[in-house]
Amino acid sequence: MWIADLEALSDEELVRRFVSGGVPEALDVLLRRHRDRVFGLAFRILGNRADALDASQEVFVGVFRKAASFRQQSAFTTWLYRLTVNACYDHARRRSRLPVATETMEVASPDAIGRTDDRLVIAGAMRKLPFEQRSAVVMRDIMGLTYEEIAAATDVAVGTVKSRIARGRAALAGILAPGLAPGLAPGLAPGLAPGGAPGGAPGGAPGGGEHADQPGRLTRDTKP
Amino acid sequence: MTPHADTELLSAYLDGEVPGSERAGLEQHLASCSECSAKKDALEGVVRSLKGLPEVRPTGAEVRALRQAVLEASGPAKAGGAARRWRRTAGGAPAGTVWKVLGAAAAAAAVLVGIVTFAANKVSGPPATTAAKQAPAAPAPSPPATVLGSDADVRTYARSLTGVSTFLGQTHAAPNVAAAPAPQVAPAPTFSCCALGAGRQDSTTPTTTGGPATSAKSDTQAPSPLSSPVTLPTCTRAIVPSGAAVLGASPVTYQGTPAWLVAYAAPSSNQGVLDQVIVEVRSQAACALLDRSTLAP
């Protein structure tokens, strides 16, 4: 089968061709369509390429393994986001076992940073957010998903998504520009306490931090 | 005066998620309340910063590694069995197929870039004095730093540092002996947070931050471009926690950014046994974390 013909097929059909039809080219088409968003989302949540690549691998392997359980109730892309967030959750949890001492260095002081690469500063600040807030903010502000899409991908109510995004943004504002609106993130004093900020584990400790949402934030398995 | 708007409302407002009737009232309030208006601006600033981040895509090598891994795990020929066999190790170190593939790619890259540059660094030895003389006159010629593009590169390169390979070899030989490497490892200086501003004072008197192997010492004192706001010794002192020991350090270029690579031995639990190597890549500009890996024996 020609690649050009495969390009016209739906994601679901590509998965089926690959799994049962013995059409390895279907994988290439599917990867080309989705690898950037999966890797990009994982990178912004986990903060490094190695983990993002690992998570991406889990996602695409998961796509073919769980293909039978995907029932078009949600868009394929949303399902992919869901697999990605879950893979990232696993990684973040594993990473959280590492020592955290150096992470308090992340954002020395806003004045010192002013002249360095803003992207690094933002990445450092993102790492301090609890997993749920970070992934919600990434999906909204970096990936451009709607509240509804984020709710579907993380399996929570839209109201919860709204709250996570607000808390995440407020915490980031408190870290990046503490003087601007002091009332925004009272939990994060300017300069950051030496003990580290909430959820400051490498890659983020899931559920850490004082603004943790209700338990069971992320479903471990991904039944569509 | 209307009551202040809470963060959630302001945040939703920025996303256009506040219904029309409520929105009019909110806008009216924002026009007259500087406090809420400042909050909104701060949130808006965060959103703008995040939207301004560049899109991160997998590199060609990463895409190939990804494809290969998926093919191996779930290709039609191996459906079922291979998929079930595909599993990460419980320890958490990246051990998936991607790593085998990328490892090969990294090794190839190391042959081309890493080893050559590393060898060049080694041959030109500890040219601290030479560099110190040259640097002020020359218009900051970029140092011959090892070029690293990914986490895998960092791991490969870090393992090639003498101090690191020696340490990993030792702990591997005697994994259960508490503090086995301790006699040779000088304790790192006390962790002091956020004193980056002091970097300039240190730039003229680079001090050794302690290391077990001679090569680590010379690496720690390796020439640093004087234009850097944060010197390698300063950055090293700042990031290495107390109880850890520096194994090696070197100037590198990480994804195009001039950086310091610092490898130190640290305990993985509160037992205090130095049983793993943390490798950090820090920007030379501000000692900001660019990459972080853990190497286990």
pTM reported for the whole predicted model: 0.52
* pLDDT tens by residue, A160-184: 999 999 999 999 999 887 776 666 7
Taking the Cβ of residue A215 and every Cβ of chain B, the question of whether any pair is shorter than 8 Å is answered with no
Instruction: Give the ipTM of the model, two decimals please.
Output: 0.74
Q: What is the pLDDT of residue B224?
A: 37
Q: Do A36 and B58 touch (CB under 8 A)?
A: yes
Q: What is the pLDDT of residue B243?
A: 72
- Interface-testing mutation among A141, A164, A167, A213, with chain B (most B C-beta atoms within 10 A): A141
* pLDDT tens by residue, A209-221: 333 333 333 434 3
Q: What is the pLDDT of residue B271?
A: 66
Contact list in A for residue B86 (CB cut-off 8 A) is: 61
Q: What is the pLDDT of residue A141?
A: 96
- Interface-testing mutation among B11, B68, B84, with chain A (most A C-beta atoms within 10 A): B11
SS3 state at B257: strand
- Interface-testing mutation among B44, B66, B264, with chain A (most A C-beta atoms within 10 A): B66
Mean pLDDT by 10 residues, chain B (297 residues): 85 94 93 93 93 90 90 61 34 42 48 39 39 39 68 86 80 42 39 32 37 37 44 76 79 85 81 80 80 83
Taking the Cβ of residue A40 and every Cβ of chain B, the question of whether any pair is shorter than 8 Å is answered with yes
Taking the Cβ of residue A9 and every Cβ of chain B, the question of whether any pair is shorter than 8 Å is answered with no
Residue of A nearest to B9 (CA): A166
Count, residues in chain A = 224
Q: Do A53 and B266 touch (CB under 8 A)?
A: no
Q: Do A31 and B67 touch (CB under 8 A)?
A: yes
Taking the Cβ of residue A173 and every Cβ of chain B, the question of whether any pair is shorter than 8 Å is answered with yes
- Interface-testing mutation among B191, B193, B279, with chain A (most A C-beta atoms within 10 A): B193
CB pairs < 8 Å spanning A and B? 226
Q: Do B46 and A194 touch (CB under 8 A)?
A: no
CA A83, CA A58: separation in Å to the nearest integer?
A: 8
Q: Do A176 and B49 touch (CB under 8 A)?
A: yes
* pLDDT tens by residue, A78-136: 889 999 999 999 888 887 665 433 333 333 344 444 444 577 788 888 988 999 999 99
Distance from CA of B77 to the nearest CA of A (A): 8
More confident residue, B196 or A72: A72
Residue of A nearest to B272 (CA): A99
Residue of A nearest to B152 (CA): A50
Three-state SS for chain A is CCHHHHHCCCHHHHHHHHHHCCCCHHHHHHHHHHHHHHHHHHHHHHCCHHHHHHHHHHHHHHHHHCHHHCCCCCCHHHHHHHHHHHHHHHHHHHHCCCCCHHHHHCCCCHHHHCCCCHHHHHHHHHHCCCHHHHHHHHHHHHCCCCHHHHHHHHCCCHHHHHHHHHHHHHHHHHHHCCCCCCCCCCCCCCCCCCCCCCCCCCCCCCCCCCCCCCCCCCCCCCCC
Q: Do A44 and B94 touch (CB under 8 A)?
A: no
Taking the Cβ of residue A159 and every Cβ of chain B, the question of whether any pair is shorter than 8 Å is answered with no
